[in-house]
Structure 1
Amino acid sequence: MTGCDQSPTAPSTPLNTEFVLAPGETMAIERASFSVTFDGVSGDSRCPADAFCIQGGDAIVRVTATSSSGTRQHELHTGSMQPVQHGDTTITLAQLSPYPFSSRTIAPHEYRATLKVTR
């Protein structure tokens, strides 16, 4: 190791490939000058798997996207599963786990977001 302080490199994946992140983790997208960080989940009101609900509920997945055009925070919703745009790049939430149960509270560090980045 040299005397220069080098920040660690984020793991990378190709475009159009699903990947899983824990809160605070970042994934770089190969040959795209793009990265996405899973910031966390807010407002998880999804219907517990062991309950009967009239509506499925929603959880808000917060991510930060960084590209050559800048950095921006985005929100993805499990209720609509609509992708978000960051320049010419699309971020899609494929899944948020674990799924809630009425008998157990999910700790913030337990969440895992399955994401996909496309152009």
Structure 2
Amino acid sequence: MSGTIRRPAPEGGTFITRPAAAELRGVTRRRIDTLIQQGKLPAYEVAGRVMVLEADVLALELPTAPPEGWISRHAAAKILGCTHRAVGLMVARGDLPAEEFGGRLYLREADVRKAATPRRVIPPRRR
């Protein structure tokens, strides 16, 4: 990890920065910040920086991949040609069914591909 700031912890172990923690687990720094805010990852202020214990980061249980046949909102957005927020609105309206696994929202890939298939429509008549 290049540019990683590491500090020894008083009780043993090593403090690392949030970007280093994200790199270590293959997630974004925003995900690390969310875990800290939710209380799932304890954080400490060390020399004016917010840092986490390396052992705590390694002990986190994070979902690695969606279940077979399910995709994330971001992947669905690429298939549909829209934003992940638009996919979220489609789910909220009931246009696309979705399920939550491990606190994250997933959609069936078959449902998304069906919604992405063009279909012929007849425009409304003018009066």
TM-score by length of 2: 0.23
Structure with more of its chain in helix, by fraction:
2
TM-score by length of 1: 0.24
The higher relative CO (CA closer than 8 Å, separation ≥ 6) is in: 1
